[in-house]
Amino acid sequence: MYFNEFSNVRISALAAAVPDHREQLINYAAQFSTEEIEKFCKSTGIQERYSSVGVGTTAADLCVAAAEEIFQRTGIKRDSIDGLILLTQTPDYMTPPTSCIIQYRLGLDNCGLVYDSSIGCSGFPFGIQMACADLMAGCEKILLLVGDSFVECPGMQKDDLLFGDCGVAVVLEKVSETVAPIKVGIRTIGKGYPSLISPYGMQRHPLSDFYRDRGLEDALAYNNKGTMHGTDVFTFSIKDAPKATKEFLAHFDCQMDDYDLISIHQANKMIVDNVAKRVQAPAEKVLWSLNRYGNTRGSSTAMNICDYVQRENLHKGMKRILNLAFGVGLNVALAGFELDLSVVLPVVKTSAVFDDGIDSFSYFTKEGGED
């Protein structure tokens, strides 16, 4: 397992954005039956979610909205950002990196270090590690973006209702004064990759092969669609996440009592309950956003924090927070830090859709494209 501790790094702002389209899961009763939906809601803990399906708001749009909230409501200047990291599994394009377009959209002309990562449900604590490492390597202020959004869902299945769309923005910076160190632990279990995978639509299994073998309807339904071996994922979650947490606490010579809040990836209610019990996290410290936002993937532990601060109407005070996230890879990531709640902004809703000037396939007829 990988461990690191970063001194003189502070989280200066945290914001989250969701689509301006809230769905009550019970409204899907006509599609799946009332009994099925009620059972699903009870077992998963999800009552509603925010979705971009049919709206067109991508992960990039959500992350931009969250970042704009920071620039407009805090004293952080755009030209002070010299690094930008985007963690998403739903980028706008195959190429170029979506982070490059976001740099342009946000007007971050001074930002030279710009890159994407496809880390999934471990996104927020994993991204904290990336940002801190870049700060130690020479950057002064990093804008970390984590988010996912699906603008279409052909062949919707009941399990698709697990997920809500969200984008978070975090600013981390180097400081000269003494602050509590940020502690990180990461474990990767690559052999478990088949348990959570989107096998079709890329180079290993091109969509053209799927179309040839199964026809157009199935090809569209399964394009980039994830598959999950539920039993394997459940076992991984309740076994490896607690194991990594215990190793994290032992390595840094700390315990659960040292943290005020525990933010666990919002996989589903059963998994969160089991993980919390196995790491001996007191119920009053465990954060929840699942029932209001669904499983927001890599941004879920950050969304937990934003939702908590907003619901409790907290505007000041320091909290020591342990983030525990786990998922596709397979991997587990933890990040422990102290956070000034005054830098956490209310969750914003947006219907913004970036107009890139590309209309269907007409782009390929332009100069430099394909004919």
Number of domains in the chain: 2
The answer to whether position 213 is within a domain reads yes
Are residues 157 and 17 part of one domain? yes
The answer to whether position 2 is within a domain reads no
Are residues 46 and 79 part of one domain? yes
Are residues 168 and 240 part of one domain? no
Domain CATH number, residue 91: 3.40.47.10
d(CA 195, CA 228): 6
d(CA 215, CA 211): 5
Are residues 199 and 79 part of one domain? no
d(CA 165, CA 85): 19
Are residues 205 and 60 part of one domain? no
d(CA 283, CA 294): 19
The set of residues, in sequence order, having a beta carbon less than 8 Å from that of 23 and lying 6+ positions away, is 48, 49, 50, 51
The answer to whether position 27 is within a domain reads yes
What's the predicted TM-score (pTM) here? 0.94
- Show the domain range for 232: 184-343
Are residues 337 and 284 part of one domain? yes
Are residues 126 and 102 part of one domain? yes
CA distances 92 to 62, 88, 89, Å, are: 12, 10, 10
Are residues 163 and 48 part of one domain? yes
- Burial class of residue 366, CB neighbours in 10 A (0-12, 13-18, 19+): exposed
Are residues 280 and 211 part of one domain? yes
The answer to whether position 106 is within a domain reads yes
The answer to whether position 368 is within a domain reads no
Are residues 244 and 212 part of one domain? yes
Are residues 82 and 205 part of one domain? no
The answer to whether position 371 is within a domain reads no
The answer to whether position 363 is within a domain reads no
The answer to whether position 360 is within a domain reads no
Are residues 327 and 216 part of one domain? yes
Tokens read off for 97? 């990196």
Per-residue pLDDT of the chain (371 residues; tens, 9 = 90+): 999 999 999 999 999 999 999 999 999 988 889 999 999 999 999 999 999 998 899 999 999 999 999 999 999 999 999 999 999 999 999 999 999 999 999 999 999 999 999 999 999 999 999 999 999 999 999 999 999 998 876 666 788 899 999 999 999 999 999 999 999 999 999 999 889 888 887 788 777 777 777 777 776 776 667 777 888 999 999 999 999 999 999 999 999 999 999 999 999 999 999 999 999 999 999 999 999 999 999 999 999 999 999 999 998 999 999 999 999 999 999 999 999 999 999 999 999 999 998 876 666 665 555 54
